[in-house]
């Protein structure tokens, strides 16, 4: 009937319009300038949220995270590890971006860090900045010698989180920005605010030789962090890193 014919025509038009819209969106995205960002594994999800919000507001730039092999080729590097940027082959400007907090997660809350003495603990190994920070804290706890026998050292914070989530250990030392990824554990202990040694500083390294505009995304993150925390660390004097 004529009524059915109209419905079919409208459906076909809707499909065509949807197809055209999808092609246009795809073309717009493919024509975007790509800014490549490196992050440590534990903050990939955290920085990824900023990237998605930035792309919603910015039609000309696409942010890709941990998509390259050579760290020197990134437009922005965000890390708490000095070793990661030790041998960069390009010139980068470093700036303090944000501080994270070391916390203890598991399934049983504790009132004092010494209460983990009789429990198994996972933490990143001492070669990592986060692992060194956690171990330095534990080393000052009474009964550390016995406690040290029950520590399981992991490659990174992600592995420590997975270990406590899989019930392999009772507790894990992790950073707070990774908590959204925890499935079977929760915060059991937060270090007092006056303990500065539990803080982890993440720095951003901006590629000065990049032919793109990484500063735009950096400025966006800085503004978002300032708005959310109102506790942005005082930036050190900007440094320029250049290695051969």
* pLDDT at site 241: 47
Q: How many CB atoms neighbour CB 15 within 10 A?
A: 10
Does residue 244 register a pLDDT over 70? no
* Tens-digit pLDDT profile for residues 179-203: 999 999 999 999 887 655 789 999 9
Burial class from Cβ neighbours inside 10 Å (0-12, 13-18, 19+) for residue 126 reads: middle
Q: What is the mean pLDDT of the chain?
A: 87
Q: For residue 159, what pLDDT band results from cuts at 50, 70 and 90?
A: very high
Does residue 153 register a pLDDT over 90? yes
* Tens-digit pLDDT profile for residues 83-138: 999 999 999 999 999 999 999 999 999 998 889 988 999 999 999 999 999 999 88
What is the average per-residue pLDDT within 52-57? 94
The residue among 208, 202, 203, 134 whose CA lies nearest residue 172 is 134
Cβ-contact 63, 217 below 8 angstroms: yes
- Give the pTM: 0.80
Q: Which residues of 164-188 are buried (b: 16+ CB within 10 A; e: fewer)?
A: bbeeebbbbbbbbbbbebbeebeeb
* pLDDT at site 1: 60
């Amino acid at each position: 009937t004529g009524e059915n014919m109209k419905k079919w025509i409208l459906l076909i038009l809707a499909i065509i319009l949807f197809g055209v819209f999808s092609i246009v969106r795809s073309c717009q995205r493919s024509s975007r300038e790509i800014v490549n960002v490196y992050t440590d594994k534990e903050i990939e999800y955290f920085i990824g949220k900023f990237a998605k919000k930035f792309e919603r507001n910015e039609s000309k730039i696409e942010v890709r995270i941990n998509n390259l092999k050579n760290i020197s080729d990134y437009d922005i590097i965000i890390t708490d590890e000095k070793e990661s940027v030790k041998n960069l082959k390009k010139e980068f400007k470093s700036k303090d971006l944000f501080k994270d907090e070391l916390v203890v997660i598991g399934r049983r809350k504790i009132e004092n860090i010494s209460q983990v003495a009789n429990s198994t603990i996972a933490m990143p190994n001492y070669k990592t900045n986060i692992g060194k920070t956690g171990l330095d804290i534990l080393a000052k706890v009474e009964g550390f010698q016995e406690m040290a026998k029950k520590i399981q050292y992991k490659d990174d914070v992600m592995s420590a989180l997975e270990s406590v989530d899989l019930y392999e250990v009772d507790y894990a030392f992790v950073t707070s920005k990774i908590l959204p990824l925890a499935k079977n554990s929760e915060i059991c202990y937060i270090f007092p605010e006056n303990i500065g040694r539990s803080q982890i500083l993440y720095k951003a390294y901006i590629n000065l030789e990049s032919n793109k505009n990484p500063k735009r995304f950096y400025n966006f993150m800085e503004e978002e962090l300032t708005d959310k925390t109102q506790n942005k660390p005082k930036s050190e004097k900007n440094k320029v890193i250049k290695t051969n």
